[in-house]
Structure 1
């Protein structure tokens, strides 16, 4: 299963089961929209606590595909 690591606002999150291209498109659409968009992610430390990340201009976000085991 593909796992993406997301650095957002200085905190690390993870997204499972979505491709890098799918998440990049989701972010691009949210940034192009006049309304804010949300990206679902989980705590990056194994707790699987769900988070909704607000995608807006000016908030740094980086995505990395982790190696599959």
Structure 2
């Protein structure tokens, strides 16, 4: 089973049985429509509880594709994250 981790408001949530692409599309559609939308996710450890995250153009949200055996493909240089240097 696939799992996607979500960080919203500094707190972790999870979502199962979805593809990363379908979630990205849903979030992108909500943001570009300009109409806030609710995203149902799982909250809690052990026993999941439904949580609803409000998605709007100003929402800060991170999604992580959790893969138990590591990524299926190597990322190209353009796809990797490079942190800003403070030097």
Instruction: Give the match's secondary structure for 1:57.
Output: coil
Q: Could you tell me the TM-score, scaled by structure 2's length?
A: 0.72
Deviations 1:7-54 (A, max 9, x none): 011110000000000000000000011321111100152321001110
Bigger strand share: 1
Q: TM-score, normalised by structure 1?
A: 0.89
Larger mean CA deviation between 10-19 and 59-68 belongs to: 59-68
- Partner residue, 1:42: 42
Matches of 1:44 and 1:22, distance apart in 2:
23
Number of positions where the alignment pairs a residue of Structure 1 with one of Structure 2: 69
2:55 and 2:46 mapped to 1: Cα distance?
23
- For structure 2, the residue ranges without an aligned partner over 5 or more in a row are 70-87
Q: Which residue of 2 aligns with 1:4?
A: 4
Compare relative contact order (CA 8 Å, sep 6+) and give the higher one, 1 or 2.
1
- Structure 1 CA distance for aligned equivalents of residues 47 and 60 of structure 2: 23
2:30 and 2:55 in contact (8 A); partners too: yes
